[in-house]
Amino acid sequence: MTWDVRLAADWNLAPSLKLSVNPNIGVGRYEDDKGRLFTAGLFAITLNYLPNKKLNPFIDLGVQSPEANNGKAAAILDGGVAYIIGRNIQIDASIGTGAHGETPPQPFLGFGISWRLKPFH
């Protein structure tokens, strides 16, 4: 069984420049290719530019250490854009690559959709 827990923050770095920083830290428990469990520290930081209320270009760095049982650290660097379609839906696209280590993906494209549910209303 694998899991991870993270703590995230959001800071307006330079409101006049419309920049914000979103760091997060965490810990995860993962299974390697031989079925052995290991614990890893997680860190990510995202720099967002907010030219308006709907468009959100970003660059992101994510680190996991170790990347495998008794391994070294792994890092991923990517950039992209998120677009808010409505109050509860967002689409995004990103492109990136592994910046360090053996397990991160080499050049990748990512596309996503986020939909906020209101289960307690």
The 10s digit of each residue's pLDDT in 33-68 is 888 899 999 999 999 999 998 999 999 999 999 998
Q: What does the DSSP 8-state code read for residue 33?
A: T
Selected residue with higher pLDDT from 102 and 78: 78
Residue 11 in tokens? 């800071």
Q: Is residue 121 part of a domain?
A: no
Q: How many domains does the chain have?
A: 1
22: confidence class by pLDDT, cuts 50, 70, 90: very high
> For the residues 20-25, what does the mean pLDDT come to?
94
Q: Is the pLDDT of residue 112 over 70?
A: yes
Instruction: Measure the CA angle with vertex 11, ends 58 and 72; round to 5°.
Output: 65
Query: Per the domain annotation, does 59 fall within a domain?
Result: yes
CATH of the domain at 70: 2.40.160.40
- Residue range of the domain that includes 7: 3-115
In a domain, residue 18? The reply is yes
Domain assignment present for residue 105? The answer is yes
Domain membership flag for residue 120:
no
Whether 4 shows a pLDDT value over 90: the answer reads no
Flag whether pLDDT at 101 surpasses 80.
yes
Question: Which residues are paired to 21 by β-bridges?
Answer: 11, 47
Residue 32 lies in a domain: yes
Model pLDDT, residue 94:
97
* Residue 116 C-alpha from the chain's centroid: 18
Overall pTM surpassing 0.85 (yes/no): no
Q: Mean per-residue pLDDT for 65-76?
A: 92
* Mean pLDDT, range 77-95, rounded to an integer: 95
The mean pLDDT value of the chain amounts to: 91
Separation between Cα atoms, residue 117 and residue 87, nearest integer Å: 11
